[in-house]
Structure 1
Amino acid sequence: MWKMKQQSKMLSRIMLTVVIFASWFLAAKATPTERGTAPNLNDFQLRPATNQAELLDRVIKLDTKLPKLGVKNILEQANRHGEPSTSLETCNSDATARRTLSSASYCFNASDSGKIGGEVEWMPQGVTTVGDAKTDQYWNTKQPILISWYDKKPKTPTNTDADKIKGARVTFFDPETAKYQHVLLVYPFINSFGNVSYMSLRTTQKEGYDSLHAGGIAWYGNYLYVADTARGFRVFDMRYIFDLKEAKNGDITDKNQIGYHNGKYYGHGYRYVMPEIAAWSSVVNRDSTKTCTLNAGSPTFSFTGVDRSGFPHLTTGEFCADKIAAGDINKSGRVARWPLDGNTGQPKLINGLWKADAAYRLPISNIQGGVSYNNTWYLSRSQGASNGFLYVTKPITSTTGILEIDTAHYAAVGPEDLSHWPKADGSPGGLWTVSEHPGKRLLSTIEQERLSPLALINIEKDHQIDIDTIVTDFI
């Protein structure tokens, strides 16, 4: 009797799985003409910001006013301690709904983790690693992981810096010690008195505007590319991280002020500030009222990554919510690949423009992160308070098309951006992500060996589901 009940329970779970996933994967397996239209590569073009030269000039001026500190020393002096996982057990079971999902994981300290259901100021979003930045996967003697956050706590905008909108920050995390340090990202400008100053990162660089979402970050060479949702990228340089604590004219005690005031430099209480040195914007302005509702037009930059297979590329993608897509694949979002100059770490240009050389329609909505490697895309999908999913697509070699899901796997609750850390021999390695929900936050990686060809679900050409595969992953 017990065995029969267990079998019945197992069958019920299998049937529930079929109901939940069948519609997603049937859409993913349909023919391109049934599923939508491929993106137009002409929609994916970026130009340098009109104030590109001025941005760099302002940073050079800051360099004469403030001392700098390198990444290695920042990590060695890091002021926060995280918690590593033990073996395959996660350091926060709430973040994985008590499933063993990752090869390794790290948790932030209590103030950064937040409480389930509690109000928080900062939300983690993007992730990148030294595996993106350098071929040898070391920055001096360190192997840093970087995480971006945006300031979400509601504020009442005013016309002064005291509006306390802190913009975006990047965490430098040392996986060897689990120590980490927050660095505030800032936008440099010349104030009304002719002094070089800076403000927090905003959607528009004026007081009263919201914090930049920083939904994805990509580190390549000396440069950190931060996704600017409506425009393209903000760019930062690892060689320009300023240390206000060591500055004779710096103040890290006042958490309200930022920039230069009465002879001192402030950073909302942060020790380090990292100024924007460049920016890239879509050639055609995006119509924000039609996000995810058009088959064409300038893309949204929701997440980003680095692809080191072949010639180096940045990857980008659009988050399109389920309620907007409503099952229409043409509203599910797009991803693209942008060529980089492997020698300089800067965009590889054609006639002064940065043009994507590949773009694809996403097969499903609610994608929070995506990165390609060896013609295969890896996509993270959020699912509210439940486990998210990690999708592996079929390889695609055309320059445009529609991605097709090959396998699907459980992810943590609220997975965000993805970063691929290749093995030393260049073969596929681990996928890093960060989960955002307060009290369920987790920095984690999963090795691609664990993403077997027959994983969570595999729908064959005749749309029959492999029951044994489902049982293996669900029980």
Structure 2
Amino acid sequence: MTTPLLVRRSASRRALVDELARRYGGRPGLGALLADLPSRAHRAPWARLLGHRVEQAWGWEAADRRTAQWWPQGVTTSGDATALGTTPAGLGGRRVAVVSWYAKPVPGPGGKDENHGVRLTFLDLETLRYRHVLLMRPVRRDDGQVGLDPVTAHAGGIVWTGSWIHVAATGKGCVSAHVDDLLWLPEGEEDTAHGHRWVLPTRVDHRGGVEETAPTSAQPGAEVERLRWSFLSLAAEGRQGPSLLVGEYGRGDASTRVARFPLSPEGLPAGSPGDRRTTYASEVVETGVKGMQGVADVAGRLHVTTSHGPWGAGSLVTAQHGTGLDGARWRRTAAATPMGPEDLSWSLGRLWVPTEHPRRRWLVALRPAG
């Protein structure tokens, strides 16, 4: 069964990335990045004091804990990357977490505010070394040269499927990059990427939309709101096959839906008969859970994070849904996480959650319910 909600893939920008790779001396790739991690995270010795469901926690270096410019949001791991049966080139046997951060505007040249976009932090979970990589969009300039622009998005969720990394862009759907496209900028070029030596160009966009005449729509002709892609996670198992779970943050009268989009074995939205670029949601449900920040499917039980401001501990809301999302009954566990929980990933045998507030920033591993 399909629904009126869809996501449509743009044309590929790979040719532009190829030009950039030639300019910068090739594609060093994921293996080279993971051998070049200058920053160090630390384990929190008092992790269990951060929330009822917390098993372990890791903190960032002081500058990343305190910055008011960059805010952590999404999380995925190498467990997601290998869940569909392929291993990205350069990963080897490493256990890696990737966290997305969005930038708040800062004063730029001439006093005009500028937005540095989205960065992805690759953290080796064994060595606890990490590095920030700027997510950028390749564009053809007026002079014919290829340049890189920051990706401006809230980056509230991120999923690593095979060699693809998908980053939530709210009303725009998501942007997708291929880890083989990782580029290292030569000395002096980092100013074009706001001080970052490593950049990851986005290869395609996935734009959310609505088609009222979608096949087997439950209510043909009914008005359906475009889905807000607030956060993402991978549901690797289930009767419907691998899928991308997409959820909405909402308060008040705003919708709080979760939708499921089928994935192909390579990790992209699977497409539909006769149109490989358009994928319809196979399932959509209005959860009624306000303030959702992340969603994960753990063996038929949905887990959702909700936040309660910069000083209130976060909650974990769960529902046993069986084979479908409809009819799920929600149960809240208060103070399950630190304050400010964001996206969720069920991978490497844990629930992963980053927290966002300055001086109260951790990457935590939670025990799932049930």
- Residue 236 of structure 1 is aligned with which of 174, 177, 185? 177
CA contact (8 A) 1:361 1:402 kept: no
Tell me which residue corresponds to 1:68.
Answer: 27
Length-normalised TM-score, structure 2: 0.87
- Higher share of residues assigned strand: 2
Tell me which residue corresponds to 1:380.
Answer: 305
Tell me which residue corresponds to 1:189.
Answer: 139
Tell me which residue corresponds to 2:271.
Answer: 349
> Take 1:171 and 1:182, find their aligned partners in 2: how far apart are those partners?
4
CA gap of 1:233–1:126, structure 2 versus 1, over 3 A, is: same
CA gap of 1:155–1:401, structure 2 versus 1, over 3 A, is: farther
Q: Structure 1 regions of 5+ residues with no counterpart?
A: 1-39, 203-211, 259-266, 286-293, 326-330, 423-428, 454-475
CA contact (8 A) 2:53 2:337 kept: yes
TM-superposed deviation, 1:437:
0.6
Tell me which residue corresponds to 1:13.
Answer: none
Q: Structure 2 regions of 5+ residues with no counterpart?
A: 212-221
Report how many aligned residue pairs link the two structures.
348
TM-superposed deviation, 1:417:
0.3
Q: Deviation above 3 Å: which 4+ runs of structure 1?
A: 135-138, 153-158
CA contact (8 A) 1:148 1:170 kept: yes
**For 1:35-54, what aligned pairs fall within 5 Å after superposition?**
42-49=3-10, 52-53=11-12
Which one-letter code corresponds to 2:134 in the other structure?
L
Tell me which residue corresponds to 1:446.
Answer: 366
> Take 1:396 and 1:154, find their aligned partners in 2: how far apart are those partners?
46
**For 1:26-425, what aligned pairs fall within 5 Å after superposition?**
42-49=3-10, 52-53=11-12, 55-66=13-24, 67-86=26-45, 89-90=46-47, 96=50, 99=51, 101-114=53-66, 120-135=68-83, 139-155=91-107, 163-202=113-152, 212-245=153-186, 251-252=189-190, 254=191, 258=192, 267-284=193-210, 296-310=224-238, 311-321=241-251, 324-325=252-253, 331-342=254-265, 344-350=266-272, 351-352=274-275, 353-384=278-309, 385-398=311-324, 401-406=326-331, 408-409=333-334, 410-422=336-348
CA contact (8 A) 2:338 2:355 kept: yes
CA gap of 1:271–1:366, structure 2 versus 1, over 3 A, is: same
> Take 1:69 and 1:418, find their aligned partners in 2: how far apart are those partners?
30
Mean Cα deviation higher: 130-139 or 366-375: 130-139
- CA RMSD in angstroms comes to 2.5
Q: Secondary structure at the match of 1:103?
A: strand
Q: Secondary structure at the match of 1:59?
A: helix
- Measured against aligned partners, the alpha-carbon deviations of 1:351-399 in whole angstroms (never above 9, x if no partner) come to 321111111111320000012233321100001120011112122423x
Percent identical pairs in the alignment equals 28
CA gap of 1:295–1:304, structure 2 versus 1, over 3 A, is: farther
Q: Secondary structure at the match of 1:275?
A: strand
TM-superposed deviation, 1:46:
1.2
Tell me which residue corresponds to 1:264.
Answer: none
Q: Secondary structure at the match of 2:31?
A: helix
- Measured against aligned partners, the alpha-carbon deviations of 1:194-228 in whole angstroms (never above 9, x if no partner) come to 111111112xxxxxxxxx11111000000000111
CA contact (8 A) 1:434 1:442 kept: yes
> Take 1:183 and 1:131, find their aligned partners in 2: how far apart are those partners?
20
> Take 1:346 and 1:313, find their aligned partners in 2: how far apart are those partners?
9
Mean Cα deviation higher: 430-439 or 307-316: 307-316
Q: Secondary structure at the match of 2:360?
A: coil
Which one-letter code corresponds to 1:46 in the other structure?
V
TM-superposed deviation, 1:47:
1.4
Which one-letter code corresponds to 1:337 in the other structure?
R
- Measured against aligned partners, the alpha-carbon deviations of 1:40-70 in whole angstroms (never above 9, x if no partner) come to 9533201122xx13x2221122121123323
- Measured against aligned partners, the alpha-carbon deviations of 1:248-282 in whole angstroms (never above 9, x if no partner) come to xx523x3xxx2xxxxxxxx1110101101001112
Q: Which has the larger radius of gyration?
A: 1
Which one-letter code corresponds to 1:222 in the other structure?
S
CA gap of 1:245–1:142, structure 2 versus 1, over 3 A, is: farther
- Higher share of residues assigned helix: 1
> Take 1:367 and 1:157, find their aligned partners in 2: how far apart are those partners?
37
CA contact (8 A) 2:182 2:200 kept: yes
> Take 1:163 and 1:239, find their aligned partners in 2: how far apart are those partners?
32
